[in-house]
Structure 1
Amino acid sequence: MSKTERGSAVRPALSRCVAIPTEAFADGYWGRRPLLTTAAVLGQDFSDLFSRDDVDELVSSRALRTPFVRMAKEGDVLPASRFTASGGFGAEVSDQVSSEKVLAEFASGATLVLQGLHRTWPPIAEFARALAAELGHPCQVNAYITPASSRGFDPHYDVHDVFVLQIYGEKHWTIHEPVHPDPLRDQPWSDHREAVAARAAGAPAIDATFKPGDALYLPRGWIHSATALGGISIHLTVGVAAYTRNDIVREAVARAADSAALRSSLPLGFDPADTDALRPIVESTIAELVAALGDPSVNAEATHTVSARLTARRRADTPPAPLRPLATVEATEALDVSTASGLTVVLRPGLEPRTVSTEQTISLAVPGKTVTLPIAAGPAVERILSGRPVSVSDLPDLDPDSSVVVARRLLREGLVVVADGG
């Protein structure tokens, strides 16, 4: 089986991480408990996403800068000066990764962390976009490269869910139940350092050695640490920044708090240190808040606002696939009626345009701009929004000249891209 056949272009992203149906994962594991799946059960590996040679290429040839790289040793994060240096003449920035310094630190037992690979390594970027679309929550990907018999970080928990994908070598993982379930982003493990250390000293929930192709789902809050065995170990950590009910609570309270009763001033001579006087004020305020939250109009407004804000956050958290400016300009300039059948376009991956139609026009709204076309282009737009590649000459309900005009406009606006092989 080829890498392409094993890759995310064929298999949905989530099914590469778990071997059970999506519904079973959602009901039994998502946000609840870990799930460890071996390579034998998954029937694949992750070599199409990342490899040992890819690590060397990124460190030696891609001029990475902080914060896209960091190093740690026995629980301590190393100062950037220990593994970065000036890029030399023509690239005089001081924080480019130094392959010589990385070699020295790695050979002495430090873990190398390549951060933000969903922005710097195309196969991982494609996988992360696909996984985020399936989960409905944004994803980011780091690689952890650990020398033999070394541990990079102390037992800790993350404030986001993770999928751990073992790429190379073996790593022993010890996982314990949470001391602070479902932590929010502003509730790091260091706030519970002593409880985390005490829990990590007890019997683990999972105590296993991961081999290439193994995958772990770990909800936020679960305590973990890992040690490489017998040789270099590489794994990917896919962080999932789950949107939470707390996001809804904040918006609902903000809407309810705008009621007249809750905008009123506190009593004259109010003393916040007088808890006896404060208690009835707090109780009556909470009662007013509960009453306001029960107002259907408040709930409707909060629902609308939550939808708008989470939609905006998701667009910001999960950017669409990058464009190829030069190739796009050349394809646009070469496009005419005679070449339309040979050019296949597809909706830009990760882009989620919002459409608005009038009697005369159809508009596609994306962050930063709105592209408006004649209403006659509606069927063509609908075909493009299906996400399936389409030849320019096959855009429905448009004559050949109009098909070219619409395709050129959408290419120049970055709403569609040339499909592979198109």
Structure 2
Amino acid sequence: MAPRLLTPHRLLDLLSWRSVDFPQIRVLQDGVDVHTRSYLTSRTSRRGQSVPIADTEKLGVLLGDGAQVIVDALNHLDPTLETACRALKWWCDMPVQVNTYLTTGNTAGFDLHWDDHPTVIVQIAGSKQWEVRGPSRLAPLYRDTGPNTEPPDEVVWSGALRAGEVISIPRGWWHSATRTDHDDDRLSLHLTFGMTPHTGIDWISWLGDLARDDERFRHDLGPGTDHAALTAALAELAGENSPTDYLVHRRQTDVRPRRSVTGGAFGAPEKLVCTTPFAPEIVETSEAVTVTAAGRHLRFAPAAAQCVRLLLSGRPVDLADAVTTTGVDAHTLGAVLLEEGLCTEATPALCSAYTALD
């Protein structure tokens, strides 16, 4: 499975053909950032349009000397990793991004540090030595009131992560990774899937946005403010909009799927795939099938239930096969889901991202 997600050569191929710039891409040697002029260049068209890209020849020299190449949000550049992130997002109900770390030689990694989000690390190639310690502050935040700079002394786990192995590190746990004394492998490549949790602070911020609709919260604060009435109004607002309501709101209204839509220019689509940021909520009753996702609220006839669930399964679906399987006009139903932004046309390149990912 690990090589199916990414390989060192495919990473370099992506950097050869995709536009990347600092800080999405960084290169470190001995734990220190290398200046961008040592690995970035630009490609200028005859009309003077300049696009930043990696200079793969210079990058190769750095890798030959021993370096660490870090590329953030690689899911924005590769359909397979975008699909993997979407699958994790549907599973954990949190936004997910994947960063990649390619290390050669005995290059040092980051010093002992903690992240403000949980991570899942997948070792793709080679090996890397890890040290993990517990948290020194419970549930730390990116914007916090405490510095959280002193790691605990106790080492919870240390060892080598090898190709195909996975480790999960909770938010706030200290950790470091290095290739020092790992001469048995020429390189290490690992992916870090970072999940962004929703906290009570996010819920409070959401309440603040909702409060703008209530006149009581828009008045000036001053000597004449009725503190008791305002406090009661806030308690009322919080009671009517619970943390669960906030999570449902975020899940149902996130409208940032990346889609490929031809508008029929290439003919009617043959395959569709659901690309909503979070798994659609599907509710069946005797009267209707209700779908809520990506800021849309749709109703379909009860007879369409099987076809709706198939088209919104998250896997590429051949519409002709769906007609045979469900007995429903999947082409018409798919056109509605495509128009409403819940599905995208499953192009050959996109479908390739789903191969052998079971």
User: Equivalent residue of 2:193, what SS?
Assistant: strand
Offset of 1:79 from its aligned partner?
3.5
Distance 1:263 1:104, change over 3 A: same
Please tell me whether the aligned partners of residues 174 and 225 of structure 1 are also in contact (alpha carbons under 8 angstroms).
yes
Match of 1:393 among 300, 303, 323: 323
Offset of 1:183 from its aligned partner?
1.9
Q: Distance in 1 between matches of 2:110 and 2:136?
A: 18
Match of 1:249 among 204, 228, 240: 204
User: Equivalent residue of 2:167, what SS?
Assistant: strand
Please tell me whether the aligned partners of residues 116 and 142 of structure 2 are also in contact (alpha carbons under 8 angstroms).
yes
Match of 2:260 among 320, 323, 340: 323
Q: Which residue of 1 aligns with 2:188?
A: 233
User: Equivalent residue of 1:47, what SS?
Assistant: helix
What are the Cα deviations for residues 158-206 of structure 1, in whole angstroms up to 9, with x where unaligned?
11111111111111112222223322232499x444x24xx4xx34222
Please tell me whether the aligned partners of residues 65 and 95 of structure 1 are also in contact (alpha carbons under 8 angstroms).
yes
Name the amino acid aligned to 1:266. Answer: G
User: Equivalent residue of 1:125, what SS?
Assistant: helix
Q: Distance in 1 between matches of 2:271 and 2:14?
A: 32
User: Equivalent residue of 1:332, what SS?
Assistant: coil
Q: Distance in 1 between matches of 2:67 and 2:52?
A: 18
Q: Which residue of 1 aligns with 2:355?
A: none
Please tell me whether the aligned partners of residues 123 and 189 of structure 2 are also in contact (alpha carbons under 8 angstroms).
yes
User: Equivalent residue of 2:307, what SS?
Assistant: helix
Q: Which residue of 2 aligns with 1:184?
A: 141
2:101 is equivalent to residue 171 of structure 1:
no
Please tell me whether the aligned partners of residues 73 and 98 of structure 2 are also in contact (alpha carbons under 8 angstroms).
yes
Name the amino acid aligned to 1:75. Answer: G
Structure 2 counterparts to residues 272-421 of structure 1, below 5 A: 291-292=232-233, 294-295=235-236, 298-302=238-242, 306-307=246-247, 309-311=249-251, 314-316=254-256, 319=257, 322-323=259-260, 325=262, 329-332=265-268, 343=270, 345-348=272-275, 350=277, 367=294, 379-380=303-304, 383-386=307-310, 387-388=312-313, 389=317, 391=321, 393-394=323-324, 404-411=331-338, 415-416=342-343, 417-418=345-346
Structure 2 unpaired stretches of 5+:
353-358
What are the Cα deviations for residues 134-175 of structure 1, in whole angstroms up to 9, with x where unaligned?
111111001101122111322221111111111111111122
Q: Which residue of 2 aligns with 1:77?
A: 33
Distance 1:412 1:330, change over 3 A: farther
Of residues 345-354 and 131-140 in structure 1, the stretch that sits farther from structure 2 once superposed is 345-354
User: Equivalent residue of 1:216, what SS?
Assistant: strand
Offset of 1:397 from its aligned partner?
7.3
Of residues 257-266 and 210-219 in structure 1, the stretch that sits farther from structure 2 once superposed is 257-266
What are the Cα deviations for residues 20-47 of structure 1, in whole angstroms up to 9, with x where unaligned?
xxxxxxxxxxxxxxxxxxxxxxxxxx11
Q: More strand per residue: 1 or 2?
A: 2
Normalised TM-score (structure 1): 0.64
Offset of 1:365 from its aligned partner?
6.9
Q: Distance in 2 between matches of 1:138 and 1:209?
A: 28
Distance 1:174 1:288, change over 3 A: farther
Q: Which residue of 1 aligns with 2:109?
A: 152
Distance 1:206 1:355, change over 3 A: closer
User: Equivalent residue of 1:172, what SS?
Assistant: strand
Q: Distance in 2 between matches of 1:76 and 1:101?
A: 17
Please tell me whether the aligned partners of residues 254 and 277 of structure 2 are also in contact (alpha carbons under 8 angstroms).
no
Distance 1:183 1:77, change over 3 A: farther
Offset of 1:242 from its aligned partner?
1.0
User: Equivalent residue of 1:205, what SS?
Assistant: strand
Distance 1:106 1:65, change over 3 A: same
**Greater gyration radius:** 1
Offset of 1:69 from its aligned partner?
1.7
Offset of 1:240 from its aligned partner?
0.6
User: Equivalent residue of 1:150, what SS?
Assistant: coil
Offset of 1:243 from its aligned partner?
1.1
Q: Distance in 1 between matches of 2:63 and 2:175?
A: 22
Offset of 1:225 from its aligned partner?
1.5
Offset of 1:207 from its aligned partner?
1.6
2:20 is equivalent to residue 64 of structure 1:
yes
2:50 is equivalent to residue 119 of structure 1:
no
Q: Distance in 1 between matches of 2:37 and 2:244?
A: 48
What are the Cα deviations for residues 242-262 of structure 1, in whole angstroms up to 9, with x where unaligned?
111222234457768969599
User: Equivalent residue of 1:105, what SS?
Assistant: helix
Determine what percentage of the aligned residue pairs are the same residue. 22
Distance 1:250 1:403, change over 3 A: closer
Name the amino acid aligned to 1:106. Answer: L
Q: Which residue of 2 aligns with 1:267?
A: 223
What are the Cα deviations for residues 61-102 of structure 1, in whole angstroms up to 9, with x where unaligned?
444344432212333333433321122445852631111221
Q: Distance in 1 between matches of 2:79 and 2:198?
A: 25
Q: Which residue of 2 aligns with 1:220?
A: 171
Please tell me whether the aligned partners of residues 347 and 385 of structure 1 are also in contact (alpha carbons under 8 angstroms).
no
Q: More helix per residue: 1 or 2?
A: 1
Normalised TM-score (structure 2): 0.74
Q: How many residues align?
A: 334
2:41 is equivalent to residue 101 of structure 1:
no
What are the Cα deviations for residues 90-140 of structure 1, in whole angstroms up to 9, with x where unaligned?
585263111122123333333101221212122211111111111111110
Offset of 1:232 from its aligned partner?
1.1
Q: Which residue of 2 aligns with 1:128?
A: 85
Offset of 1:236 from its aligned partner?
0.5
Q: Distance in 2 between matches of 1:145 and 1:361?
A: 50
Please tell me whether the aligned partners of residues 332 and 411 of structure 1 are also in contact (alpha carbons under 8 angstroms).
no
User: Equivalent residue of 1:152, what SS?
Assistant: coil
Distance 1:298 1:71, change over 3 A: same
Please tell me whether the aligned partners of residues 121 and 192 of structure 2 are also in contact (alpha carbons under 8 angstroms).
yes
Please tell me whether the aligned partners of residues 255 and 301 of structure 1 are also in contact (alpha carbons under 8 angstroms).
no
